[in-house]
Amino acid sequence: ELLSCERVWLNVMPATLRPDLVDYGLLEPHALGVHEGKIHALVPMQDLKGPHPAHWRDMKGRLVTPGLIDCHTHLIFAGSRAEEFEQRQKGVPYADIARKGGGILSTVRATRAASEDQLYELAVPRIKSLIREGVTTVEIKSGYGLTLADELKMLRVARRLGEALPIRVKTTLLAAHAVPLEFRDDPDSWVETICQEIIPAAAEAGLADAVDVFCEHIGFSLAQTEQVYLAADQYGLAVKGHMDQLSNLGGSTLAAHFGALSVDHLEYLDSAGIQALAHRGVVATLLPTAFYFLKETKLPPVEALRRAGVPMAVSSDINPGTAPIVSLRMAMNMACTLFGLTPVEAMAGVTRHAAQALGEQERLGQLRVGMLADFLVWNCHHPAELSYLIGVDQLVSRVVNGEETHHG
């Protein structure tokens, strides 16, 4: 099967992240062949017979992993919340900042004022940082427009980023992120606008792959969340949730009932919620950067999730308010140091489980014949280094859809 490959990476040591193999799913040195954008051959070097015309390069036994998947980001936004950070460090309470129009709504004002081109240009350096780290798929949410036009504007920018740059982009409509000022006296009519106008428009335009809700006492109630999920179901869109971040409204159980792809944050997730997730195969996405930046102290129930066999994903949650840290490898490190994940779990959290959180587990997240050829060749001695060492460019080769996009 190597003969029908357009390109072959020789002498790589695969961390396959296959669930049927232990830990990283490490194999002895292999040749990895790509054909029409897919992994077409994974052949042990010892079985190789003679040279091959399309031999790409000898990787001299270097580690190869699946491309990294950042399954939860808000990386499109205008404005900055740096002054708020300064205020907070001076002891000004978050509630005072919000009362003065700070918080999410200050990013909403700036994002509404920005054109589609301006939002695109602001997002490019952020997404390029992820590309340089080895991210090959990124999920990008709306949620700072909070009008029909501005939410669709954000989703168009997300689609454009995926078309223009060597990275797969999955889009999520998060109109249920906050209640805009125009609806502050009648939040339910904002929820109605989401259900009756924004979800239909986004679905018909093919702009949203999933729908997300910030289910929280400072966000949307369980009943409002259910309304949004029903509308998403009606238009055939998958659902996700920002759940149990600051309190437990029972959002994870509701999301599991709807067969959500993932529930995210989960600091206040309880055992009933964990059972519901395990029962429906919902991914638990951990967002340690927001926990760290908010100086949160309530840890998500990692050990209970582990015992229940709930797949854990790890993501950056890049956003200007609670996670202004544009690095998936930093999130991997924090998932280990702050939440107690092992480096193996962190690696599965940004490959196989992150793919599942995006409904892409059949095509992405493992090194397996037949899957899309998104993979990375590393200058590192052991896969644990990817959660351990931060800030060094260790990428030797970055491949998306079988095309090499970067080689160190």
Ligand X SMILES: O=C(O)CC[C@@H]1NC(=O)NC1=O
List residues near ligand X by CB under 6 A.
103-104, 107, 177, 214, 242, 245, 290, 319-322
Shortest Cβ distance from residue 214 to ligand X (Å)?
4
> Which CB sits closer to ligand X, 319 or 397?
319
**Minimum distance of ligand X from residue 70's CB (angstroms):** 15
> If contact means CB under 5 to 8 A according to the sort of partner, which of Fe ion, ligand X, none does residue 107 touch?
ligand X
Q: Give the one entry of Fe ion, ligand X, none that residue 276 binds, where binding means its C-beta sits below a cut-off of 5 to 8 angstroms depending on kind.
A: none
244 is an interface residue for Fe ion by CB under 5 A:
no
**What gap in Å lies between CA 34 and CA 2, rounded to an integer?**
8
Q: How far is the CB of 123 from Fe ion (least distance, A)?
A: 16
- Running DSSP on this structure, what letter comes out for residue 183? G
The nearer residue to ligand X, 266 or 278, going by C-beta atoms, is: 266
398 torsion bin: left (phi>0), alpha (psi -120 to 50), beta (else): beta
Q: Is 95 helix (H, G, I), strand (E, B) or coil?
A: helix
Q: What's the alpha-carbon Rg for the chain, to the nearest Å?
A: 21
- We find the least distance from the C-beta atom of residue 209 to ligand X, in angstroms, to be 18
Q: Is 70 in the site for Fe ion (CB under 5 A)?
A: no
Give how far Cα 268 sits from Cα of 155, 178, 294, 356, Å.
30, 20, 15, 22
Q: Nearest-CA neighbor of 382 among 4, 1, 15, 8?
A: 15
Piece of the chain touching Fe ion by CB under 5 A; list 12-20, 33-41, 128-136, 317-325: 317-325
Closest to Fe ion by CB, 317 or 345:
317
Q: Can you say whether the dihedral through the CA atoms of 334, 335, 341, 346 is positive or negative?
A: negative
Q: From CA 14, how far away is CA 57, in angstroms rounded?
A: 15
Do 283 and 311 contact (CB within 8 A), yes or no? Answer: yes
Distance of alpha carbon 101 from alpha carbon 179, whole angstroms:
13
**Is residue 317 a contact point for Fe ion (CB under 5 A)?**
yes
Nearer to ligand X, 98 or 148 (CB): 98
Sign of the alpha-carbon dihedral angle for 305, 306, 310, 315? positive
Candidate ranges 268-276, 316-324, 325-333, 363-371; the one touching Fe ion (CB under 5 A) = 316-324
| Among the residue ranges 63-71, 159-167, 309-317, 368-376, the one whose residues contact Fe ion (CB under 5 A) | 309-317
Which stretch in 15-23, 78-86, 229-237, 315-323 sits in contact with Fe ion by CB under 5 A? Answer: 315-323
- Enumerate binding residues for Fe ion (CB under 5 A): 317
